[in-house]
């Protein structure tokens, strides 16, 4: 049976660092499931820095949309992050409504966590930082908030990161 730990918080709150330490506390060889797409040189450099920081003991899987296709049975999996994954879904399905994209996201996430694994999932609380300045930003913030609520409802544990300090929520 799978276990699910959601780690959430604002930008640069320490989520990924805490998630990595948590994964390494469980397994010497965890899986890092990266959902980012490389869209410019600056982001590529950022990704390379993160890979170097993690070290060779991590199994890296780069999977921007169909996260359930990764075979992670029996492993400790750090999925980083839901926000980038939802961004990919959002822009791949621009023709769909937010409700339809949310349904797709829930279905894909459910397929992933059906695998017998321990999941540590990082997400962002983007709605805490203010109101979106345009329609697309507001729609995405809604999508993100609803998906965060869904994952939190399924999670065995939820941690909110505030200024590098983990606060147990659930």
The residue from 5, 50, 93, 131 that is catalytic is 50
| CA dihedral over 23, 121, 118, 54, signed as positive or negative | negative
Nearest to 80, CA basis, from 28, 8, 142, 149: 8
Whether residue 5 lies in the annotated active site: no
Question: Which residues on adjacent β-strands are paired with residue 165?
Answer: 162
| Residue given tokens 């937010």 in the structure block | 98
Distance (Å, whole) CA 17 – CA 143:
25
Nearest to 74, CA basis, from 20, 119, 25: 119
Q: Active-site residue numbers?
A: 50
């Amino acid at each position: 049976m799978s276990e699910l730990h959601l780690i959430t918080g604002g930008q640069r709150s320490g989520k990924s660092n805490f998630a990595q330490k948590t994964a390494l506390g469980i397994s010497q060889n965890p899986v890092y499931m990266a959902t980012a797409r490389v869209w410019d040189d600056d982001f590529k450099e950022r990704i390379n820095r993160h890979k170097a920081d993690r070290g060779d003991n991590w199994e890296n899987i780069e999977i921007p949309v169909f996260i359930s296709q990764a075979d992670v049975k029996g492993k400790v999996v750090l999925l980083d992050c839901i926000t980038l994954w939802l961004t990919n879904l959002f822009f791949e399905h621009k023709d769909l409504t937010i409700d339809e994209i949310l349904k797709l996201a829930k279905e894909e996430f459910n397929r992933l966590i059906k695998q017998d694994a321990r999941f540590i999932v990082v997400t962002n609380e983007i709605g805490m930082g203010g109101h979106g300045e345009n329609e697309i930003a507001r729609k995405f913030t809604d999508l993100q908030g609803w998906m965060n609520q869904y994952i939190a409802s399924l999670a065995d544990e939820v941690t909110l990161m505030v200024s590098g300090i983990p606060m147990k929520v659930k």
